[in-house]
Amino acid sequence: MIHFCLAHMAYHLHCWLPRSRRLRLPRSSRYCRQPLLTNLVGNIIFTFFTIGFSVLLTQMEPVPQALKRIFAVFGVGSFGEGVCTMVLTVLATDCEKTTPELYYLSVLLSVSSLVSTVLFSGLGLIWLGSVACAQPDTKPMV
């Protein structure tokens, strides 16, 4: 309900201001050719899924196989979203002048995606090494 309350208050505060005092952004100078805003909306949607998975994974004991599979699909989607964020940010260097807040947020999300990808790649390699080098338990024959 807090989100509704904040939006409601913002609307009413905006209406109380005289029209001459309201903030207006020049549309032609605040334009970015890359869809960074759309990508940011995708990141926000992934954030909501992250919150949901965090709650589910910490509350369920044991975690069902179906949830583990869905979480793996979510991981692949999250990787794809990170790659899209990095590519769009690299292509959007002109947006640094027109929409700097959006551009720098995209840079931050790109760096965060890159760091988490490197982290999980390293963990995956360590896991693969432990599986490949594991010696089977041998029991003496009696």
Judge if pTM exceeds 0.75: no
What does the pLDDT read at residue 28? Answer: 47
C-beta separation of 35 from 98 below 8 A: no
Task: Give the position of tokens 């100078």.
Answer: 29
pLDDT in tens, 45-98: 999 999 999 999 999 889 999 999 999 999 999 999 999 999 999 999 889 888
Residue 136 belongs to a domain: no
Residue 18 belongs to a domain: no
Q: Which domain holds residue 37?
A: 32-131
What is the number of domains present in the chain? 1
C-beta separation of 36 from 103 below 8 A: yes
Residue 76 belongs to a domain: yes
- Look at residue 134 and give its three-state secondary structure: coil
